[in-house]
């Protein structure tokens, strides 16, 4: 190992262009050569050093093929996939305004809108819950949306951009 380590480090460093990776590769290569030494046949034409060069070169090329990871210092902080503080505040404000506007509406319209828009029920499912025909449910939803829009307008909300 002492005889070949400098040449192997030089080879691996030239291939992977990173001294730390090269050092690791050479250590692994020497370990591999040690465990596979019985397979090497000294009576063949290739010298031991030729075989060792091949093992280090293959290990270096394998390292290049692997996905490279950035050092922790360079990776930075991961982006939070959740909504930011402003988005959460806007969502809470929007919910309060819609809730306040819906409180002014007739109970049946409020129930229809709640079931259809906030409970993820289809119109036929919501109609069954309220014991209505589908046509009556659709009419109730139409009147409810119109009343909700008016109630929001009285609160100063004309469009979703007004909620900040």
For residues 18 and 8, the answer to whether their CB atoms sit within 8 Å is: no
Q: Does domain 5-70 have CATH number 1.10.730.10?
A: no
CATH number attached to the domain at 85-162: 1.10.10.10
Rounded Cα gap, residues 130 and 140, in angstroms:
11
What are the pLDDT digits (tens) for 41-90? Answer: 665 666 777 878 888 999 999 888 886 666 777 767 777 788 788 888 88
- Helix, strand or coil, per DSSP, at residue 46: coil
Q: pLDDT tens-digit profile of 17-48?
A: 889 989 999 999 999 888 877 776 665 666 77
Sequence ranges of the chain with CATH classification 1.10.10.10: 85-162
The boundaries of every CATH 1.10.1740.10 domain in the chain are 5-70
Q: Is 44 left (phi over 0), alpha (psi -120 to 50) or beta?
A: beta
């Amino acid at each position: 190992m002492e005889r070949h380590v400098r040449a192997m480090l030089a080879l691996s460093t030239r291939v992977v262009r990173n001294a730390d990776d090269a050092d690791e590769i050479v250590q692994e290569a020497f370990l591999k050569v040690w465990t596979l030494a019985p397979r090497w046949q000294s009576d063949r034409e290739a010298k031991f050093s030729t075989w060792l060069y091949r093992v280090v070169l293959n290990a270096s090329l394998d390292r290049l093929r692997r996905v490279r990871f950035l050092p922790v210092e360079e990776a930075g902080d991961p982006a939070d996939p959740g909504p930011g503080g402003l988005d959460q505040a806007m969502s809470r404000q929007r919910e309060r305004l819609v809730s306040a506007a819906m409180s002014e509406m007739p109970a049946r319209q409020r129930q229809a809108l709640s079931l259809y828009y906030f409970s993820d029920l289809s119109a036929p499912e919501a109609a069954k819950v309220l014991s209505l025909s589908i046509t009556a449910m659709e009419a109730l939803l139409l009147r409810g949306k119109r009343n909700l829009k008016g109630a929001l307008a009285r609160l100063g909300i004309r469009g979703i951009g007004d909620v900040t």
